[in-house]
Amino acid sequence: MEGVSQSSFTLPSDSNGVIRMRDPANESGNSTGGGSSGTRSSENSSSGFSRRAFLRGSSAAAAAAAMVARPETASAQKANQGAEVVSGFKTITLSVNVQKHQVNVEPRTTLLEVLRYQLDLTGAKPVSQDGSSGASTVLIDGRPVMASTTLAIACEGKQIQTVESFGGAQPDSAPVAFVQHDAQQCGFCTPGFVVAARAFLDKHPHATEEEIRQGLNGNICRCGTYANVIQAVLSATKGG
Q: What residues line the site for ligand FES (CB under 6 A)?
A: 184-190, 221-223, 225
Pick the closer one to ligand FES by CB: 47 or 180: 180
3-state secondary structure of 41: helix
Pick the closer one to ligand FES by CB: 111 or 229: 229
CB 196 within 8 A of CB 175: no
Q: Can you say how many angstroms the Cα of residue 48 is from the centroid of all Cα atoms in its chain?
A: 50
Smallest separation (angstroms) from ligand FES to the CB of 221: 3
Pick the closer one to ligand FES by CB: 148 or 184: 184
- DSSP bridge pairs for 100: 95
Pick the closer one to ligand FES by CB: 92 or 177: 177
- H-helix segments, the chain: 40-47, 51-80, 111-117, 173-180, 190-203, 209-215, 226-237
Pick the closer one to ligand FES by CB: 45 or 219: 219
The end-to-end CA distance of the chain, in Å, is: 94
Smallest separation (angstroms) from ligand FES to the CB of 112: 17
Distance CA(82)–CA(85), nearest Å, equals: 9
Smallest separation (angstroms) from ligand FES to the CB of 69: 51
Pick the closer one to ligand FES by CB: 45 or 133: 133
CB 111 within 8 A of CB 152: yes
Q: What are phi and psi of 203, to 5 degrees?
A: -90, -30
Helix axes 226-237 and 190-203, enclosed angle (nearest 10)? 30
What does each C-alpha distance from 168 to 115, 142, 162, 174, 184 come to in angstroms? 19, 19, 13, 13, 20
CB 121 within 8 A of CB 162: yes
